Amino acid sequence: MNQQLYSIRMHSRRAGDHLSGAENLVGLAALESTAALLVRRALQHSRGAADQLRLVIDLVDPDSLEHGCLPDLRTLQLASVAEARRCAGQLLAQVGVTTQAVAAAMQALVDGAAPGGRSMRGAMLIDCRTGERLEADRARGVRVSRIGMTGQLDAGLTAQLEALDLNNLHVREALLLAGKVAMHRDILAELCWSDDPDYTAGYVSSRHFGYLRFPQLKPSGETRGGRAFFLRPGSDLAELTTWLESAPVLFERAGTLYPPVGWREYATFMGTATG
């Protein structure tokens, strides 16, 4: 694919607060229709219509483009939000995030990680040992951007997600975001649940176990959500932040998408402690 790509980013606000954001990498032919879709999204958000919306479009330098493969995806079925959070914590612990760091991240998401108990616009950066928050701005956080996929991957992924009844924007965008995040060697893992009140699913992701989603990682109606990236101690924060925010990554291949499994089945199969 040697066609020129554009990065397109949208940020919207409502009553002075962050409402939604989105990003994509597209060729010229899809630029206008993508812009129209992003405008519609900001106007039809589940938390109300945006009253301010910004679109930023940049031509991508082809020499800076990196290529990626999406993570494997699995849905883990748990009986309750509490159980799902406990299992998510166990998975994070397996890749080297301490119990303390897991607890700090979950507490911040529960309380609203931005000042005033609101949701952040981007992600927290959390020291995987101490649980200390490292992002420079606790309202904005770090926003992963400049991610997209080839048309061929899009078609294949759409069919695979449809077969699992998962072809929605939350899943599609989270898979791309988690895919880019997992490419950085200083990030051990990621934890996320949505800030959209009617979307209760969340996930943990790492290059070791892929993208593991939980249909109920927060209670329905909850407007606090967010993301935590767990960093190795001594990570270069400036390098990491710049890469996440501005390095363009085009995904070209899907991972394997598995049907839903129960926790015990997954844990037995993977040799994970069931606690």
**Is 120 an interacting residue with respect to ligand WAQ (CB under 6 A)?**
yes
Residue 161 interacts with ligand WAQ (CB under 6 A)?
no
Nearer to Mg ion, 135 or 195 (CB): 195
119 lies in the site for ligand WAQ, by CB under 6 A = yes
For the CB of residue 33, give the shortest distance to ligand WAQ in the complex, in Å: 21
Helix (H, G, I), strand (E, B) or coil at 101: helix
Among 8, 70, 105, 123, binds ligand WAQ (CB under 6 A): 123
Q: How many residues does the structure list for the chain?
A: 275
Give me the least distance between CB of 2 and ligand WAQ, in Å please.
27
Q: Does 177 bind ligand WAQ (CB under 6 A)?
A: yes
Min dist CB 206 to Mg ion, Å, is: 22
Report how far apart the first and last C-alpha atoms of the chain are (Å, whole number). Answer: 47
Task: Check binding of 196 to ligand WAQ (CB under 6 A).
Answer: yes
DSSP 195-248: SSTT---EEEEETTTEEEEES-SS-TT----EEEEEEPTT--HHHHHHHHHH--
Q: Pick the closer one to Mg ion by CB: 129 or 170.
A: 170
Among 33-41, 97-105, 201-209, 254-262, the segment contacting ligand WAQ (CB under 6 A): 201-209
Between 83 and 196, CB nearer to Mg ion: 196
Q: Select the residue interacting with ligand WAQ from 21, 68, 148, 248 (CB under 6 A).
A: 21
193 forms bridges with which residues in the sheet?
202, 226
CB 248 within 8 A of CB 5: yes
Task: Say how many C-beta atoms besides its own lie within 10 A of residue 252's C-beta.
Answer: 14
Q: Using the CB atoms, write b or e for 231-251: b if 16+ within 10 Å.
A: beeebeeeebbebbeebbbbb
Residues 71, 172: Cα–Cα separation, whole Å: 12
Asked whether position 252 contacts Mg ion by CB under 5 A, the answer is no
Percent of the chain that is helix, strand, coil (3-state, to 5): 35, 30, 35
Which residue of 172, 196, 223, 260 would you call a contact of Mg ion, by CB under 5 A? 196
Q: Which residues bind Mg ion (CB under 5 A)?
A: 195-196
Q: Which residues bind ligand WAQ (CB under 6 A)?
A: 21, 119-123, 143-145, 170-171, 174, 177, 192, 194-196, 199, 201-203, 213, 225-227
